[in-house]
Amino acid sequence: MISQIGSKTSSELSDQLSAVFKNIKDEISGFAEQAPENIVESVHLIRKRFKLLRAFVKLTQFCSEGDQYKQINILFRDCGRLISDCRDVHVRGLLLDEFRQTKTDRPYFSYLKKLIELNNNQTTEIENQLLSGTSVFDELIADLNSEPVLNYFFSLKPDAESLITGYARCYQKSYRAFHSELTNHEADLLHEWRKRTKDLQYQLELMTESVPVDLPPSLEEVSELCEVLGRINDLFMLSDWIKTHRSSKNRSALLEEIHHELESLEADADNRGHSLYRLAPEEYSRQLQQAVLQ
């Protein structure tokens, strides 16, 4: 947690930022050690922490020299990708199991069970690849402790204005992604909006004791929107995977039901977006700086 940035010296802020990084790094190390016993939970939490780290890097980008933050952001992106296939099959499995439990009266129920079997086979194969030989989790820990990463976080020169600028930039990108998505509910645009809003959620969690509580949006609003956008993203991924299988009436019926849920979720997300982005980026930045820096 990064608290009371307006009243902290650069040295005090630096200590806070270093402590945040160390805490996240230690959490990832702990989850990696648990992977052989509980790979589903470990992969899920490790991916979340790398997304948090990327949001943290973007928050601190103006506290670093030049484009150093870009190198670290790309490194963390690649770390997340090492386990993304595994997380995808896990999410797919959760969705398929949810459908199996709630749609027993559907004509495609037997087809659904076949999809579950296919996904289970893919899951076993991918999990075995992650855990065999040189563990991917060992690679992740090595990257976290690499010289470029440590140099970045332990050489930051933070001040309140730089952190506010990073956070305001994040709000601006989320705001713009929402308005781009409004013109066309394409999967790529919705995915981009989700990524930028997830950054906003993570940064707001880190800065919750520094951002005024009466300045919208609230952490609760952002978190709830991320839940909706996450469900949309998962359903798009499931739909794309189902489309790779042979066409049939059952496949079409299942895809049609997923499509209807997506339409409802997209309308919900749009309504939440209109409420959440009540302030234009320029006005948001102005009010944020006025509240924190003065």
Which tens digits make up the pLDDT trace of 216-227?
Answer: 999 999 999 999
The tens digit of pLDDT for each residue in 177-204 reads: 999 998 887 889 999 999 999 999 999 9
CB 126 within 8 A of CB 89: yes
Q: Token pair for residue 232?
A: 């949309």
CA–CA separation, 28 and 50 (whole Å): 8
What value, to the nearest 5°, has the Cα angle with vertex 278 and ends 272 and 284?
A: 130
Going residue by residue through the chain, which has 294 residues, state the pLDDT in tens, using 9 for 90 and above. Answer: 787 787 788 999 999 999 999 999 999 999 999 999 999 999 999 999 999 999 999 999 999 988 899 999 999 999 999 999 999 999 999 999 999 999 888 999 999 999 999 999 999 999 999 988 778 999 999 999 999 999 999 999 999 999 999 999 999 999 999 999 988 878 899 999 999 999 999 999 999 888 988 999 999 999 999 999 999 999 999 999 999 998 899 999 999 999 999 999 999 999 999 999 999 999 999 999 998 887
Q: How many residues does the chain have?
A: 294
Share of the chain above pLDDT 70, in %: 99
Which two tokens mark 265?
Answer: 């979720």
Structure tokens at 173: 């990108």
Angstrom CA distances, 143 to 65, 82, 132, 139, 140, stand at 21, 12, 19, 6, 5
Peptide bond into 281 cis (omega under 30): no
Rounded to 10°, the helix 249-276/109-131 angle is 70
Q: Which of 174, 143, 150, 146 is nearest to 55 (CA)?
A: 174
10: phi then psi, degrees, rounded to nearest 5: -60, -40
Quote the number of domains for the chain.
Answer: 1
Q: State if pTM tops 0.85.
A: yes
Residue 221 CA: distances (Å) to CA of 146, 147, 278: 36, 38, 12
Mean pLDDT of the chain: 94
Q: Helix, strand or coil for residue 97? A: helix
Domain that holds residue 24: 5-293
Q: What is the CATH number of the domain that holds 22?
A: 1.40.20.10
Considering only CA atoms, which of 27, 46, 53, 22 is closest in space to residue 203?
A: 53
* Residue 218 vs residues 21, 32, 147, 207, 225: alpha-carbon distances, Å: 24, 32, 36, 12, 11
